[in-house]
Chains A and B, each alone.
Chain A
Amino acid sequence: MSEAAVNPSEGISKIFRQPGRFIVPLSLVLLVGTATLLQPSFLSINNIQDILTQAAPLALVVLGQAFVILVRGLDLSVASLMASAAVLATAFNATSDAMIPVIFLVTIVVSAGVGLINGLLVTKRNVSPFLATLAMMIVLQGIRFYYTQGAPSGSLPEGFRVLGAGRLAGIPVNMLVFFFFFCILGWLLHKSSFGRKIYITGGNPKSANLVGIHADRVTIICYVICSVMAGIAGLFLVGFVGTVDNWVGRGYELDAIVACVLGGIMLTGGKGTLWGAATGALILILIFNIVIILGLPVQAQLIIKGIIIIFVAGLFSRSTQT
């Protein structure tokens, strides 16, 4: 994924201005190296498959979050939406795999509606993205708990296990799905004219309007993409976990933002690549794995996540100021 198409005139000097370009691949190599030293079986095929299976749901969310952050937004409702999608899927109480496409279709439509509301609030009502999506998070949570009365019941078709944790020719199924979306969204962001509009809107919404781009429309579409990806990720996560509860995907909102920041997507908007975001997701999952390998308590992941986000965000904000 080359960024050259976006900023053709900037030349080599931008490498120095974007430390993410070095840091991201470097830290990936360092992390894999550390993990292999700590536990030689880390690089076994089996373990790599496991890690990819774990990484896929987060990576799906990250793809969507990247779009929102690129247009200067932030979506805190993704985790809540993931759980809502999971609960919605059980509402069908389906046992046959033939229902899976229907479940996906309904989830996508509902998620798109959620994203549309987020986008409209942010653009038309000028609500800060943080508050709009925060409120959406609470609303979804309330509806979900009201529907389930605290404890979800209902069942999912067997096929969800295959989607969430199965393998096709040794490759995790959910990773294949991730790759599919990665290609489509990557094309949309980096090759299509709409992608350019996203970067221009994120760079400066006012000048985007001046050059004839409907900045509001672009922003709304980004929110819709984010929510749809979150809904789909919720279905895959529930397939991976195997049980539905009201908190499927809890913490993914922060994880997705951390992954984007790690992958060099600027929170100020308009800068970063989808490739970077996906790498960020992988780095985060690797870090979680190393925490486990080191024998630290799972909660230590929270501490490490917090330190990383402050540190990396600080690093990037320094480099943009100078």
Chain B
Amino acid sequence: MAYSKSRYLVRRLQLDPSLIIVILLLAIVVISGFVLSDRFGTTRNFMNVLEQSSGLGFASIGQAMVVIVGGIDLSIGAVVTASTIFMAAIVDLHPGLMIPMIFGTLLFGAMIGFCNGYITIKTGVHPLIVTLGTASILNGSVLIYTLQPTGGVPYWFEEFAYGRIWNVPISGLVMLLCFALVWLFLRYFQAGRAFYAVGGNPEAARLSGIQSNRIILLAYSASGFFAALAGVYFVSRTGVGDPRIGDPITLASITPVIIGGLILGGGKGNVLGVLLGVILISLLSNLLNYMNISTFIQWVIQGVIIIIAVSVYVHKGKKL
């Protein structure tokens, strides 16, 4: 970095407005929650929200990494679905393989992500099309295998989703840990910083000696990995592999990324903003549930949030 410390601080401050907006929105949601519902502002509720937001959180980390390198991953939902089936079906047959299968599933997701990255690099096709294609292939394969929820895992595995350490949900802790690790990686590691370089200007990154292709492959593999982690979480929550569970996740994973100020088109943003986005969405939906607002209206709200967030942030940014 050629920037002096003070210049760097200025640059940091310039990035901050998006974070400030998210924090303000969070404050509004929390305050209206306290005012509108007496069940909202309890530790117990906040811990529940933290636990419920984990699936979305895992999926969004991966999406964020791909978006930072200038791509998009529309196969996340399909990878989540495929992972739940993969894990639940195999563990059902060989219950002894429970622990290795957790890692096996994560590897499975990472491999699918790797394929996405590889096809994108080798063919030069827009990642939107590539990942839509792989999503279609994965969904088709899963639906040929089963149309109903299938398989099963040992009962104790629900501890991953529902278990608590000092009253804090384990899945929530894992999610926070993942965000922290990815944040550290992107900020303090050379490969992590290269993510921003590749997303900002791939040609310049290549000329300055960064192996863009490796970074892109890493980003997509990470996306697949975290999607599979979300899959593992859902298996733990539901105890089965569900051929439909991932369907809404793809779009849902994009919303926090946009709210967090990651400009689609790449090269900018902070994953902590994404974390705040995840918490904002989860708290909002929690509050709307307490207010007995139908899920269908929540969809409308979600769409409107995307439109507003995007038209605020993207106006001066690059197009995808």
Contact = CB atoms under 8 A, between A and B. Distances in A.
Contacts of B306: 131, 134-135, 138
Interface stretch (B19-27, B134-142, B169-177, B282-290): B134-142
A6 B135 CA distance: 36
Contacts of B128: 74, 130
Contact of A313 (B125, B307, B311): B125
Interface stretch (A20-28, A235-243, A297-305): A297-305
A317 B310 contact: no
Contact of A126 (B129, B144, B314): B314
A245 B264 CA distance: 34
A142 B294 CA distance: 10
A63 to B, nearest CB: 20
A134 B257 CA distance: 14
Contact of A321 (B124, B136, B144, B314): B124
- Chain B: interface size category: 35 or more
Contacts, number: 146
B299 A313 contact: no
B133 A302 contact: no
A299 B138 CA distance: 10
A309 B317 CA distance: 29
A300 B140 contact: yes
A58 to B, nearest CB: 16
Given A74-B128, A142-B298, A131 B140 contact: no
B238 interface: no
A194 B130 CA distance: 32
Interface of B: 72, 119, 122-126, 128-130, 132-141, 143-144, 251, 254, 258, 264-265, 294-304, 306-307, 310-311, 314-317, 319-320
17 contacts: A125-B315, A126-B311, A131-B320, A134-B254, A135-B304, A138-B299, A138-B303, A138-B306, A142-B296, A146-B294, A257-B129, A261-B129, A300-B140, A309-B129, A309-B133, A310-B125, A310-B133
Interface of A: 74, 121, 125-128, 130-132, 134-139, 141-143, 145-146, 149-150, 254, 257, 261, 267, 297, 299-307, 309-310, 313-314, 317-318, 321
Given A130-B128, A134-B254, A299-B140, 11 more contacts: A127-B314, A135-B307, A141-B299, A142-B297, A145-B299, A301-B140, A306-B134, A310-B130, A314-B119, A314-B123, A317-B123
